[in-house]
């Protein structure tokens, strides 16, 4: 008995799954706004903390609101001795994305409000996650190298503290570039990890479960993992002089080129010029233009021959490398930022919830009798 095939939107391409007031992607102008503000303007005018507040509260903070928000988050940076013990027992070669996914799940068990999924409690849990994630990423990274964790410092900004717990004291222009990257990574409508977080929330599960699942989704190289893949690719290319030939070989093999293409933006990604500007600044500060020069050759050839534009991961990868972060930390940095967008979506989904449960069109065998074990 054959059924007509329903209209299947594989990959949910072009499907509107809900309304949202958090961010807007405008593919026709390659632009992105958070709560109505263009991301590139937020990068020039605001700190990452102001943008986190904006995403969670729908308006930019006043000075007093910002001070209170910063104080709330900064006071929660330390992670528990129990979590530190667990982190020390992680396999030393574990990928930092697996480490932070596990650490966030653990934080859910020890959160003082783990059983309270009310909106005020979820907001407080989100602030604790934002505060503690950098400490956990850094502690796991250092434990993998046999080093003790560095205590977070509430006196510092989010970006300064993130660097400090890695034992880094960067120059102001490096901190600015880092902050810009956090702002650009903070939110991006119904991407795979955000939709994962919303789906988990739709079952009325808690925010730690939603964020843990979001981290799992972000790790994949078609999503957040692309920023790491970009840097591996740039190293493999080996410099601007080899870039054209390297890319031709990729084309011959019909292989993906990491950091290019986007499900929504087809003629450019508004975050790319801003991140590229700051990555170029990093190259100047560090005095190493190899990676950005290589990037330029790759981007020009991709556009000319494939008409495919770079996405945010393309400049973010070399920017983080030039800032001195180990490559496996690039996607965890994305987590430290995107937790703001995920939490905003968790709150929005819970406030007007309906269980997310699509249908599948069955194409397996017709119903048949179960043969006994000795007759199979």
Would you please indicate which residues are annotated as catalytic (active-site) residues?
Answer: 223, 262, 313
Q: How far is the CB of 267 from ligand COA (least distance, A)?
A: 13
Would you tell me how many other CB atoms lie within 10 Å of the CB of residue 315? 31
Sites of contact with ligand COA (CB under 6 A): 11, 222, 226, 256-263, 308, 311, 313
Q: How far is the CB of 123 from ligand COA (least distance, A)?
A: 28
Phi, then psi, of 142 in degrees rounded to 5:
-70, -40
Which is it for the CA torsion 99, 161, 158, 155, positive or negative?
Answer: positive
| Buried b / exposed e along 175-196 (16+ C-beta atoms within 10 A) | bbbbbbbbbbbbbbebbbbbbb
Q: Which helix (H) or strand (E) holds 13?
A: none
Q: How far is the CB of 58 from ligand COA (least distance, A)?
A: 25
Which is it for the CA torsion 185, 188, 192, 194, positive or negative?
Answer: positive
Q: Which residue's CB is nearer to ligand COA, number 294 or number 311?
A: 311
Interatomic CA distance for residues 334 and 325, integer angstroms: 13
Would you tell me how many other CB atoms lie within 10 Å of the CB of residue 115? 8
Q: What is the DSSP string of 323-366?
A: TT--GGGHHHHHHHHHHHHHHHHHHHHHHT-----------SPP
Q: Which residue's CB is nearer to ligand COA, number 124 or number 271?
A: 271
Q: How far is the CB of 360 from ligand COA (least distance, A)?
A: 19
Two tokens, residue 282: 């990093």
| Residues 317 and 228 sit within 8 Å (Cβ to Cβ) | yes
Q: Which residue's CB is nearer to ligand COA, number 159 or number 259?
A: 259
- Give, in order, the Cα–Cα distances in Å from 190 to each of 209, 338, 350: 18, 12, 15
Instruction: Enter the DSSP assignment of 310.
Output: B
Point out which residues pair with 24 in neighbouring strands: 33
Q: Which residue's CB is nearer to ligand COA, number 108 or number 261?
A: 261
Phi, then psi, of 100 in degrees rounded to 5:
-75, -35
Q: How far is the CB of 87 from ligand COA (least distance, A)?
A: 28
Interatomic CA distance for residues 164 and 107, integer angstroms: 22
Q: How far is the CB of 325 from ligand COA (least distance, A)?
A: 18
Q: Which residue's CB is nearer to ligand COA, number 86 or number 247?
A: 247
SS3 129: helix
Q: Which residue's CB is nearer to ligand COA, number 157 or number 189?
A: 189
- Residue closest to ligand COA (Cβ): 261
Interatomic CA distance for residues 71 and 32, integer angstroms: 29
Q: How far is the CB of 268 from ligand COA (least distance, A)?
A: 13
Which parts of 46-93 fold into alpha helices (H)? 48-57, 63-74, 81-88
Which is it for the CA torsion 363, 214, 278, 174, positive or negative?
Answer: negative
């Amino acid at each position: 008995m054959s059924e007509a095939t329903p209209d299947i939107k594989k990959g949910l391409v072009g499907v509107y799954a809900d309304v949202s007031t958090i961010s807007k992607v405008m593919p026709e102008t390659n632009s992105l706004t958070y709560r109505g503000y263009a991301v590139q303007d937020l990068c020039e005018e605001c700190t990452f903390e102001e943008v986190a507040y904006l995403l969670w509260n729908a308006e930019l903070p006043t000075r007093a609101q910002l001070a209170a928000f910063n104080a709330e988050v900064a006071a929660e940076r330390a992670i528990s001795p129990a979590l530190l013990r667990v982190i020390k027992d992680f396999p030393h070669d574990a990928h930092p994305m697996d480490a932070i996914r596990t650490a966030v799940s653990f934080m859910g068990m020890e959160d003082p409000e783990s059983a309270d999924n009310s909106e005020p409690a979820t907001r407080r849990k989100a602030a604790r996650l934002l505060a503690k994630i950098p400490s956990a990423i850094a502690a796991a990274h250092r434990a993998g190298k046999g080093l003790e964790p560095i205590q977070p410092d509430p006196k510092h900004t989010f970006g300064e503290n993130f660097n400090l717990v890695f034992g880094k004291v960067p120059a102001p222009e490096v901190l600015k570039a880092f902050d810009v990257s956090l702002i650009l990574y903070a939110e991006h409508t119904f991407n795979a990890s955000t939709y994962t977080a919303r789906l988990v929330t739709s079952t009325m599960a808690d925010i730690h479960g939603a964020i843990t699942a979001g981290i799992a989704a972000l790790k994949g190289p078609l999503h957040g993992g692309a920023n790491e893949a970009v840097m591996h690719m740039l190293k493999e290319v080996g410099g601007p002089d080899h870039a054209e030939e390297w890319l031709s070989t990729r084309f011959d093999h019909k292989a993906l080129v990491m950091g290019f293409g986007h499900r929504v933006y087809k003629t450019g990604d508004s975050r790319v010029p801003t991140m590229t500007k700051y990555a170029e600044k990093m190259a100047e500060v560090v005095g190493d233009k190899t990676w950005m020069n290589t990037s330029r050759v790759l981007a020009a050839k991709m556009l000319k021959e494939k008409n495919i534009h770079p996405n945010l991961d393309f400049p973010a990868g070399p920017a983080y490398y030039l800032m001195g972060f180990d490559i496996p930390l690039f996607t965890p940095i994305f987590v430290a930022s995107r937790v703001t967008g995920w939490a905003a979506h968790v709150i929005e989904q819970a406030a007007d919830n309906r269980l997310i449960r699509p249908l599948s069109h069955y194409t397996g065998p017709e119903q048949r009798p179960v043969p006994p074990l000795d007759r199979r």
